[in-house]
């Protein structure tokens, strides 16, 4: 699989990364080992987790699954903390303590990419950057990143790091797909301007962009659309209309909707890796092999024109209050 640099750093990651939010939750440990083994077989070398994924069990399970492969892979995790939803605790004391916890659960001596899961409006970004700089200096973290930041927050952090001569954020995770394009207004532009690698998650809109869900049909038991209100809101009449139009577009060119969704995103300027989840080895293989379609500029313009017909309010990103 193709490898890419994250922003203008020396960190190289696979074009597809495996997100592990379901490890230790919807996906039991025996199945995670199968999924991780398949990821390695497919050439996936970037694995992403977080300290709040299933109360830290995701980190523990991922660490055990990667034993014997540590030198082959890039491991990323995120710190959260705090009592409010969608806000991380960026205070020095929390950042240092959270890193120690993640190192222990992962069973590693150094985290390749350590990211702030959400912004923290209560802590100056200077304090967070300096704390992360301590971890880099101590060899506990190689590079630092962010997730779910707004465009102005990316700019502020970049300028602050330059002023402090501290390590800078090299990668930003964000929700981005053909049905959720809110980040294009500011976040994507800020990442490109400040050389921050773009790491989209939910590339297939939790399955809506695979074609396995259809309007007016009950969702499978245990699926996100059946169990979680946010995902049920994504499955709107407007989005199903988009899915039908995009499916027709892809099939007219000899491709599937999944190939369109993954290739459209992977081919965007500045994208370092596309984060996918998987509940089975077969599902992971399909996702990993769906990025080979090289869309032309004309293809992309046609997609934009097609979606212009649907100008209804886009769903808010999952990590913001509605």
Rounded to 10 deg, the angle between the 92-106 and 125-137 helix axes is 40
Q: Report which secondary-structure segment, H or E, holds 297.
A: helix 297-308
Q: Which of 289, 283, 245 is nearest to 263 (CA)?
A: 289
**Cα 62 to Cα 13, 23, 39, 105, 311, distances in angstroms:** 17, 8, 12, 9, 40
- What residues act catalytically? 53
Report the alpha-carbon distance of residue 34 to residue 67 in Å, rounded.
Answer: 14
As a dihedral over the C-alpha atoms of residue 91, residue 149, residue 270, residue 113, rounded to 10 degrees, the angle is 30
For residue 96, give every residue at least 6 positions away whose Cβ sits within 8 Å of its Cβ, in sequence order, or none: 131, 134, 135
Beta strands in the chain (DSSP E): 3-5, 12-14, 16-19, 46-48, 74-79, 111-116, 141-147, 169-175, 197-201, 274-276
Apex 284 CA angle, 61 and 199, nearest 5 = 80
């Amino acid at each position: 699989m193709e490898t890419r640099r994250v922003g203008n750093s020396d960190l190289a990651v696979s074009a597809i990364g495996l997100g592990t939010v379901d490890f230790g939750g919807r996906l039991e440990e025996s199945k995670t080992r199968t999924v991780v083994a398949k990821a390695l077989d497919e050439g996936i070398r970037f694995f992403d987790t977080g300290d709040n994924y299933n109360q830290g069990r995701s980190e523990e399970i991922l660490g055990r699954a990667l034993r014997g492969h540590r030198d082959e892979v890039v491991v990323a995790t995120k710190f959260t903390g705090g009592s409010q939803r969608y806000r991380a605790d960026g205070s020095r004391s929390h950042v240092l303590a959270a890193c120690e916890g993640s190192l222990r659960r992962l069973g590693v001596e150094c985290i390749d990419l350590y990211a702030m899961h959400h912004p923290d409006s209560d802590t100056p970004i200077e304090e967070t950057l300096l704390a992360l700089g301590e971890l880099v200096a101590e060899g506990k973290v190689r590079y630092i990143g962010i997730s779910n930041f707004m465009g102005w927050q990316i700019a502020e952090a970049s300028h602050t790091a330059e002023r402090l001569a501290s390590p800078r954020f090299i990668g930003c995770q964000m929700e981005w797909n053909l049905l959720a394009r809110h980040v294009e207004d500011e976040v994507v532009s800020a990442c490109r301007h400040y050389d921050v690698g773009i790491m989209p998650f939910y590339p297939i809109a939790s399955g809506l962009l695979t074609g396995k869900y259809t309007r007016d049909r009950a969702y499978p038991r245990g699926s996100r659309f059946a169990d979680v209100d946010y995902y049920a809101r994504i499955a709107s009449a407007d989005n199903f209309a988009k899915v039908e139009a995009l499916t027709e577009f892809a099939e007219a060119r000899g491709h599937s909707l999944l190939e369109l969704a993954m290739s459209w995103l992977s081919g965007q300027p500045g994208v370092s890796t596309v984060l996918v989840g998987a509940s089975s080895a077969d599902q992971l293989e399909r996702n990993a092999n769906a990025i080979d379609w090289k869309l032309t500029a004309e293809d992309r313009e046609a997609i934009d024109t097609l979606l212009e017909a649907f100008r209804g309010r886009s769903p808010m990103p999952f990590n913001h209050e509605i």
